[in-house]
Structure 1
């Protein structure tokens, strides 16, 4: 068996262990450290060290071993915890992450950085516990086979200063019990244990298979390595020196030929990360087996995102095909073809259930995103000499994984902006009658077919006068009569910044415009609410997924378009009393004391044969980028769920359009981008002047207001 087959599993689970380590370090109470948290941090380092040793990742093993030694002293109460010590542990965790990335990319880790972190840890040990730390033994040289964790007979000096090398562990005879492991996997695990020492014998059945192992590796290291291969309840280890009867030594079975049907095949079941505990023997001398699925199957598997995307695409095609069949069958006589119609109804329900089940596979909790910010807030608050408490709400709220990956950068910029520009320093807050510790809240919640993500701070809030003055200075078209919402949106203008000085945190006028573009690219929009002296709330509204869309079908001329249902507020018949002509060709529609810009879809998209008489059209009130518009369309067809197809990938970018879909009759329908459609409409009106629009609103309004 090639041990490199487990590399990907090791990398993924080591990343999760590092994330757990960081989370516990950030949460730990320095005054009264929780023993279980300290143990969890230690176990994470220990597991990574064991795996790194087995896979031959020498630098990672040595760094983790030094950290593990310090953590051991901390959990035993032999070394006090202070903020600077936790900072050193976090710095080491970052270094471990960099080393892991280097090995993942088949590169050697930065030797200078490795030497520096080792010196830092040794210095900490000398100051706090008055002794040098022992380093992990050097990994064996690569002989062309899979690397092993067996220590070499002679250990060479390490390349770091003041790092003592531990002597190899003396050999011991261990009985390693593998519980509930299928026949084909037992051979693989016996081979794996052979990498850690010499297999003296192995026997047993599927319920309990025991391997006698002569090894110089500690029992803890065996557990740490095997955690990347089996679940904790499947492994029990005990010393075998004092056993009354040791299984007769038998040579380790060599790998059988692939042609041999009894040859064990490589397991495709990947396990979830787990920290292992040892178990003792039962009264009969054999470890008691915990009931599990046959073959030792894990309750979860790792599947690449590409495979999930492929399944989602296939389900999307299935939904399109089902819609085509449904449209064809709907034209048949219900009495004659009753059985077929009933079958189609059942197919429709099953297809919808399948679609929802597959989509749920891609959904991940927002904790995946929020867990990145405690460290960011801690480090940045320290750099800015501010005291900030981070609160997260709605961590279990789920969002499509593709969106969680893309929302991280915009959300990071908003968090940094709140800390730098929003929350004041402790003295300023105290003078204003506020608590010295600022509060930053990250929250997520579902609202219809959208997810609302909010970044809330209790800082100084936005300064309207200062924003307007800066906008005038920057040459932006603004007026004192602008609403607060319009003024707040100025911060998203390219190059706009009110920072008094440029720092390495912010102030260069870049970022907020990128935040807005990125969120719009995900089909969402940004809203800002602020009160002077009380704080600012930045709200991001996103669709739950980009693969499936609940839409409203509209007809303009002979063309069918799709409006995202989340943008549709209402529809109404426009009346002549509620339409008002503005300068040029601009027209607004009064809806409950609010004046909404009117966008004639057929004008913006050059659709021929559309209705041009006001009384024949329908006004659909929609919302995009925080503003409301009135779209004039010919007819409303109805609501339907559509499969989103990327238009730029398959064709090119089309103004006013965000994507496309395939309807039940096989035709292509464009999905409209509300805000971009309004910009396109205004641009075409500007280009047409002094020509008249296809709807002559001034004449139309005058005629309709004259008595008949």
Structure 2
């Protein structure tokens, strides 16, 4: 084996560590105070560039080493206070970081970075590094009346909005190929497996003793050991699942750069605050929630936060505030995007709905009006820009979140701001569900979609010519969806007052699912139906029950949509 072959074995580690250093470099840069930069942060930024340079040289990536060599020189002068930190230095360092990230992606099979782009960034780094401190201070344009200069963020450089480029390509590649696990968690797994082996041995001994002596089974002892096995299995399950858990900071860390670039592009002043970055969630959820969160953050910056002049006229602080929070609530993670901007305009939304012939109920509540923005192709933007306004996105955001088993809710106060709340499952492998019976069949309804369950009175169920059956629940009529009709099953009874209604919240609004009975709440392991069988309308996945039978997990939103069509030809 050649020396090059030996080095290639370490490339995956280099890719992962370099991506981490680049992410850390961006986070630290955006947190710096220009007037009083923290010396520890400056040293950490320098060390990140130095580490990348050293590793790139060692493992045979001279293109990355050449960029970080000059970047390291510039950052060294800044940390030694030979140069005063300013916007130009932060801008060029961010641009260099983008180039390095694209180079990293190229070495992992991505598109090659044009040589001219690399040459340009190195030349600009050298030019700034060789300038005198006074020249740098003069180069930073003054800000008057609280107005941010767009040019101060551009500096004749190609500063791009981070999420619009392919700069994030390196991160997913490394994330999907490996995962870091602490020694403590590995030790915990080993201990739990040991406990499981001991319990299994005890059960085997109990069975063997009964066979040898022909004595009656000691059911009390057997029950104790089965309970111990159940505890061991649950602890092992939780421990294994925790390995896949990552803090949401891995997603949140992308947004300070996004907000900074967009704010400069739109001539706005915006602060992004993050709360609960340590909240953990399954890596599979994290990978799929990044794009929806990016779209929502962009909307807050573009549509939510007003311009400086508008905020001054409204008596608000010049700098707008976007707050991104995450926390655990029960078995879910709740992520909120809140801004203190202009809020949604009820009249404007209703006018646009009429213009596009979007259905709006009579005397709609504010919540009904806010839901209009989730209609396909719905946008109130006056002009189409490269930031937003094409009328695609919010419906896709909602659909993507619901495909993860989550829900999205929106509240807004005109002139005060908007809050979007996303509730997601902790993991995509296990979910809490309600088992329901329909004739001889058992289905699972995701618990996150259920509001309540009830037995209706006969007089509360009505039939409307254009809509079908509806049920009166707490002051409103909800569409009644009979699951036996959707799936072509034979129920115990087709009379709602003799069964149970499950009130669910879907992208189509609230609805009442009619089932024969509730069988109980349970945690189920999700199995892909498409990979083992085929796609079935109204079904999102399957699970194996305790008796070995297979039960289908409902896609509640699709079930409600299917209820408006002819019944399926066969049962599932």
TM-score band, normalised by the shorter chain?
0.7 to 0.9
Tell me how far apart the structure 1 counterparts of residues 509 and 179 of structure 2 sit (CA, whole Å). Answer: 48
Give the aligned partner of residue 651 of structure 1: 533
Give the aligned partner of residue 65 of structure 1: 69
Q: Indicate conservation of the 8 Å contact 1:63/1:118, yes or no.
A: yes
Tell me how far apart the structure 2 counterparts of residues 469 and 38 of structure 1 sit (CA, whole Å). Answer: 52
Tell me the SS of whatever aligns to 1:78.
coil
Count of aligned pairs between the two proteins: 497
Give the aligned partner of residue 90 of structure 2: 86
How far the C-alpha of 1:494 sits from its partner, in A, is 2.0
Q: Indicate conservation of the 8 Å contact 2:327/2:335, yes or no.
A: yes
Give the aligned partner of residue 244 of structure 1: none
Tell me how far apart the structure 1 counterparts of residues 423 and 470 of structure 2 sit (CA, whole Å). Answer: 26
Distance 1:117 1:585, change over 3 A: closer
Tell me the SS of whatever aligns to 1:444.
strand
1:51 matched to 2:52? The reply is no
Q: Indicate conservation of the 8 Å contact 1:527/1:626, yes or no.
A: no
After superposition, the C-alpha distances for 1:440-482 in whole angstroms (9 at most, x for unaligned) are 0111122222211111111111111111211222232235522
1:569 matched to 2:478? The reply is no
1:518 matched to 2:522? The reply is no
Give the aligned partner of residue 355 of structure 2: 473
Tell me the SS of whatever aligns to 1:645.
coil
Tell me how far apart the structure 2 counterparts of residues 298 and 390 of structure 1 sit (CA, whole Å). Answer: 31
After superposition, the C-alpha distances for 1:397-429 in whole angstroms (9 at most, x for unaligned) are 111100101100011011111111111001101
- TM-score (normalizing by structure 1): 0.67
**Aligned equivalent of 1:597, options 464, 472, 479:** 479
**Aligned equivalent of 2:261, options 371, 379, 391:** 379
Distance 1:299 1:613, change over 3 A: closer
Q: Could you say which structure has the higher helix fraction?
A: 2
Tell me how far apart the structure 1 counterparts of residues 515 and 11 of structure 2 sit (CA, whole Å). Answer: 57
**Aligned equivalent of 1:447, options 303, 326, 329:** 329
Q: Indicate conservation of the 8 Å contact 2:508/2:557, yes or no.
A: no
Structure with higher Rg: it is 1
Q: Indicate conservation of the 8 Å contact 2:401/2:407, yes or no.
A: yes
1:354 matched to 2:236? The reply is yes
Tell me how far apart the structure 1 counterparts of residues 330 and 400 of structure 2 sit (CA, whole Å). Answer: 22
Give the aligned partner of residue 587 of structure 1: 469
1:368 matched to 2:250? The reply is yes
User: 1:172-251 to 2 correspondence within 5 Å?
Assistant: none
Q: What RMSD over aligned residues (CA atoms) do the two structures have, in Å?
A: 2.7
Tell me the SS of whatever aligns to 1:682.
coil
Tell me how far apart the structure 2 counterparts of residues 130 and 536 of structure 1 sit (CA, whole Å). Answer: 43
**Aligned equivalent of 2:370, options 480, 488, 509:** 488
Give the aligned partner of residue 432 of structure 1: 314
Give the aligned partner of residue 31 of structure 1: 35
**Aligned equivalent of 1:617, options 499, 513, 516:** 499
Tell me the SS of whatever aligns to 1:402.
helix
How far the C-alpha of 1:514 sits from its partner, in A, is 1.7
Tell me how far apart the structure 1 counterparts of residues 373 and 80 of structure 2 sit (CA, whole Å). Answer: 51
Give the aligned partner of residue 509 of structure 1: 391
- TM-score (normalizing by structure 2): 0.82
Q: Indicate conservation of the 8 Å contact 1:524/1:542, yes or no.
A: yes
Tell me how far apart the structure 2 counterparts of residues 469 and 566 of structure 1 sit (CA, whole Å). Answer: 33
Tell me how far apart the structure 2 counterparts of residues 583 and 382 of structure 1 sit (CA, whole Å). Answer: 55
How far the C-alpha of 1:300 sits from its partner, in A, is 7.6
Q: Which consecutive residues of structure 1, in runs of 5 or more, have no partner in the other structure?
A: 132-269, 273-296, 303-307, 309-314, 316-321, 323-333, 689-708
Give the aligned partner of residue 674 of structure 1: 556
1:497 matched to 2:379? The reply is yes
How far the C-alpha of 1:639 sits from its partner, in A, is 1.8
1:127 matched to 2:113? The reply is no
Q: Indicate conservation of the 8 Å contact 1:524/1:625, yes or no.
A: no
After superposition, the C-alpha distances for 1:284-336 in whole angstroms (9 at most, x for unaligned) are xxxxxxxxxxxxx984899xxxxx9xxxxxx9xxxxxx9xxxxxxxxxxx975
**Aligned equivalent of 2:12, options 8, 12, 22:** 8
